Chain A
Amino acid sequence: MQDLKLKAAEKRGIHQLGGDELVGWDEVTQGIILTSFEGDASDIVHKKAEERNYSDFNSYTATVASWRVKKPVFNIDVCIDCQNCWVWCPDTSIISRDKQMLGIDYDHCKGCEVCVEVCPTNPKSLLMFGEQEDLETALSQWPEKKKKEK
C-alpha cells in the first residue's frame, strides 16, 4: 500500500518527504508535503513541547539564536507570573508551564525586547543584557526597586 502511494505521488511529481533523502528546493516541481511530527500527531494539542515527537522538518528543531545581539535575562525572584510576556512573545520563546513562567527558550528568541517592554513589575523581571553576559553577572547587576515619583 505504502509503495503504491509513493509511486502515485512520484507519477504526479510530488516528492514525499520523510525517510528518503531531501530534495533540493529547485527540484520541487508541483508541491511538497512537510510533516511536523514523527508518527501519530492527533493528540498534539494536549502535549507540551518537551513531550512532542518533532520531526526534522519542524522549525522547532531549528534555531535563530544568531539573530540576537542582546538577550533577555529572566529574574525569577521579581516575577509575578502575570504571563504578559507569554501572550505577546512573537517567537514562542517564553517557557510557561502550569501557570508559571519558567524561563526563556534561547534557541528561538530573536531578542526583540517586547517581553521586557510589557513586563509590569518594579524593577522589571526581564531585562536585556549583552549576548556574552552570563546569568550570574546579569543577576548581580539587577537594579533596585524604584520609588514612585510624587
Chain B
Amino acid sequence: MAITSIKNLKEFSTNNDRFEGAHTLCPGCAHSMIVRELMNCTDDNLVIASNTGCLEVSTAVYPFTSWDTSWIHIGFENAATAVSGAEAMFKARKKKGTLKDNDASVKFVAFGGDGSTYDIGFQWLSGAMERGHDFTYICLDNENYANTGGQRSSATPIGAHTSTAQAGTHSYGKKQKKKDIVAIMAAHDAPYVAQLAPNKWKSMAKGFQKALETEGPCFINTVSPCCTEWKFDPKDTINITDLATDTLMFPIYEIINGHELNILYRPKNVLPVEEYLAAQGRYKHLFKPENKHVIEEIQKNINEYWEMLQRREEARV
C-alpha cells in the first residue's frame, strides 16, 4: 500500500491529479473536491465504479472521460455490485497467477450519490457489505436527487424545500427525518465506517487512507454541498461546509468494527443551527413565524444526536 504523505498541505499538493478538469459538474460543486482528495491520498492503482448520479453523468460525457484510472458505470444501483465483482475477479486471478502484474496493489472504490446510496442502491450496497468484499464505498451526500432536478431523497433533512416536497402555505418542505445511514452501515459490522466533510481536508484524507488500508468493506459518508439545489452562491461551498460541521448538522466521526466510535472534530464554538439554515435558500421558509417550531425541532434533533455520539464514544459499545 503506497499511501502518500498528508502531513501538511504543501506535501499533499505534490501529488499528481488523476481526476481531470473540464468535467461538467456545476462550478463550485463539492463532489469533485472529494473525488480528487480520494485519488490524491494514495499512489495505488484504483478501480472505481460510479452509480448513476451527478458525478457519473458529468465525468463521462461522451466522447470524454475525466478519469485517469479504471472506471466503470453500469446502473443506478450497481456501483457496489460492479466493484465487488471486479474485486472477486482480481482475487481469483491473483491466486491463479494470471494477472499481468501479480504484485500490483489495487484498491477498489465505489462512488454513489445519496439517492443511489440511501434509496435506490441500498439493497445492493447492503449485500456487498455483507459479503465482505475488500472495497471502499463513498457516498457523496448532497441530500437530494440533484441530477434530475432536486427531488427529495431519504437523505433530505426535515424542513428542506425540494421539488417534490415543496414549501408553501400548507407545508414546510420535507416532513420526515434524515435516515442515519452511518449507523445502518456500522450495523453491518463493517471494519471502518465514517462520516467526513471536505472542509476538514486532513481528517478526510486520513479517513480515506484508513478505509483503503483496511481489509474488508468500508463505508464513508461525505457531505457534499450542492450550490444549485441548496441555493447558495458557488463560492460559498467551503463556508457552508464549515457551518455544517460547526453547527453539528454533520458531525465528523468514525466507527471501527461496528462499536468503537471516535469523534474526529469537536467545534470550539458550537454555532446555533439557524446560521447554517439561513445561509441556504432551501430553508428560507423556516424563518417565517409559523415555521419556527421546525427550527426548534432541528436543533433538538442535533443536540440529541450529538449527546448520543458522545455517550457512545465514552462507552465503546
Partner of B20 from the list A28, A41, A59, A84 (CB cut-off 8 Å) is: A59
Bound CA span A144–B140, Å: 40
Partner among A46, A60, A84, A99 whose Cβ is within 8 Å of the Cβ of B16: A46
A36 close to B234 (CB less than 8 A)? no
The reply to whether A36 and B235 form a contact with Cβ atoms under 8 Å apart is: no
Least Cβ distance of B163 to chain A in Å? 23
**Closest residue of chain A to B235, judged by CB?**
A113
Indicate if B238 sits at the interface (CB-CB under 8 A).
Answer: yes
CB atoms of A49 and B235 under 8 A apart: no
Given A92-B36, A112-B27, A114-B28, A58 contacting B237 (CB threshold 8 A): no
B296 touches A (CB below 8 Å): no
Which residues of A are found within 8 Å of B233, using beta-carbon distances? 113
CA gap between A59 and B20 in the complex, in Å:
6
Given contacts A22-B63, A87-B37, A114-B238, contact A99 B14 (CB under 8 A): yes
Interface residues in A94-145 (C-beta closer than 8 Å to B): 96, 98-99, 105, 107-114, 116-118
Contact A45 B18 (CB under 8 A): yes
A17 within 8 A of B: yes
CB pair A117 B22 closer than 8 Å: no
Q: Are B20 and A58 in contact (CB under 8 A)?
A: yes
Interface residues of B in 107-151 (CB under 8 A from A): none
Q: Mark B40-71, 1 if CB is under 8 A from A, else 0.
A: 00010000000000000001111111111000
- CB-CB nearest in chain A for B236: A117
The answer to whether B306 has its CB under 8 Å from any CB of chain A is no
A: interface residue count bin: 35 or more
Among B5-13, B177-185, B253-261, B267-275, the stretch in contact with A: B5-13
**Contact of A36 with B43 at beta-carbon distance under 8 Å, contacts A45-B18, A90-B29, A91-B21 already known:** no
Cβ-defined contact, A116 with B235, below 8 A: yes
Closest Cβ–Cβ distance, residue A22 to chain B (whole Å):
6
Expressed in whole angstroms, the Cα–Cα distance for A88 and B10 within the complex equals 13
Task: Tell me the complex Cα distance, A114–B63, Å.
Answer: 28
> Chain B residues with Cβ under 8 A from A78's Cβ?
none
Which residues on the B side are within 8 Å of A81 (C-beta)? 10
Size of the B side of the interface (Cβ < 8 Å), in residues, is 46
Chain B residues lying within 8 Å of A76, measured Cβ to Cβ, are: none
Query: How far is B8's CA from A99's CA once the two chains are assembled, in angstroms?
Result: 11
Is A93 close to B, CB under 8 A? Answer: yes
Most buried by A among B22, B33, B235: B22
| Residues of the A chain whose Cβ atoms lie less than 8 Å from the Cβ of B22 | 59-60, 62-64, 91, 107-108
B23 in contact with A59 (CB, 8 Å): yes
B201 located at the interface, meaning its Cβ lies under 8 Å from any Cβ of chain A in the complex:
yes
Smallest Cβ-Cβ distance to B23: which chain A residue: A59
Give complex CA distance A36, B63 in Å.
11
Contacts of A60 in B (CB 8 A): 20-22, 66
Chain B residues contacting A49 (CB-CB under 8 Å) are: 16-17
Contacts of B18 in A (CB 8 A): 44-45
Q: A92–B17 contact, CB under 8 A?
A: yes
- A residues within 8 A CB of B234? 112-114
Query: Closest CB-CB distance, A84 to chain B, in whole Å?
Result: 7
A88-B238 contact given A67-B27, A93-B21, CB 8 Å threshold: yes
In the complex with contacts A91-B21, A112-B27, A58-B68 CB distance below 8 A: yes
On B, residues with C-beta under 8 Å from A are: 9-14, 16-25, 27-33, 36-37, 43, 59-68, 101, 198, 201, 233-239
Known A83-B12, A114-B28; 13 more pairs at CB < 8 Å: A25-B62, A58-B20, A59-B59, A60-B21, A60-B22, A60-B66, A87-B13, A90-B32, A92-B32, A111-B27, A113-B233, A113-B234, A114-B235
Chosen A-B contacts, 8 in total, with CB atoms closer than 8 Å, are: A59-B61, A60-B20, A84-B9, A86-B13, A87-B37, A88-B198, A90-B28, A111-B27
